[in-house]
């Protein structure tokens, strides 16, 4: 098998020539900012919304949702980025520490749509 023969085979193969035309636009089932039902982010957000006035530490959330600490930490970061939850240092403003407490933001709609920031 030579390189010339391989090149001729690839050029003459009909699927290789029509492959780009076979692709169709498929809508993204997971658009950015959408929280999938049953995901860790969904479980964390539901737990925080069950107790909207209370601040929760990461370890409490891990125990409540029954998921690993790493996935809950990522979900907390993701939800905070989207604006669904807020965080504060665990010691308060007078004696801040490196750990955070979290709670759900009250003005977010229940269907997990991300908040839109005002453009200035």
Residue 43 has φ and ψ, to the nearest 5°, of: -65, -40
Coil, strand or helix: which one is 87?
strand
Q: Where are the domains of the chain?
A: 36-107
Of the listed ranges 11-15, 33-37, 42-46, the least confidently predicted one is: 11-15
Domain 36-107 has CATH 1.10.8.620: no
Mean pLDDT of 54-70: 94
pLDDT-derived band of residue 6, with 50, 70 and 90 as boundaries? confident
- What is the total residue count of the chain? 120
- Whether residue 117 is predicted with pLDDT greater than 80 in this model: the reply is no
pLDDT: which is higher, 120 or 36: 36
The answer to whether the predicted template modeling score (pTM) of the entire model surpasses 0.75 is no
Mean pLDDT of 71-81: 94
Residue 52 has φ and ψ, to the nearest 5°, of: -70, -25
How confident is the model over 82-113, as pLDDT tens digits? 999 999 887 766 666 778 999 999 864 555 55
């Amino acid at each position: 098998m030579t390189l010339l023969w391989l090149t001729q085979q690839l050029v003459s193969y009909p699927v290789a020539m029509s492959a780009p035309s076979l692709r169709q636009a498929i809508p993204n089932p997971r658009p950015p900012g959408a929280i999938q039902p049953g995901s860790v982010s969904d479980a964390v957000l539901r737990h925080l919304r069950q107790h909207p006035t209370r601040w929760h530490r990461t370890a409490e959330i891990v125990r409540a949702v029954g998921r690993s600490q790493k996935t809950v930490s990522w979900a907390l970061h993701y939800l905070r980025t989207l604006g669904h939850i807020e965080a504060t240092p665990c010691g308060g403003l007078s004696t801040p520490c490196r750990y955070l407490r979290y709670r759900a933001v009250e003005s977010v709609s229940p269907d997990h749509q991300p908040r839109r920031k005002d453009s200035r």
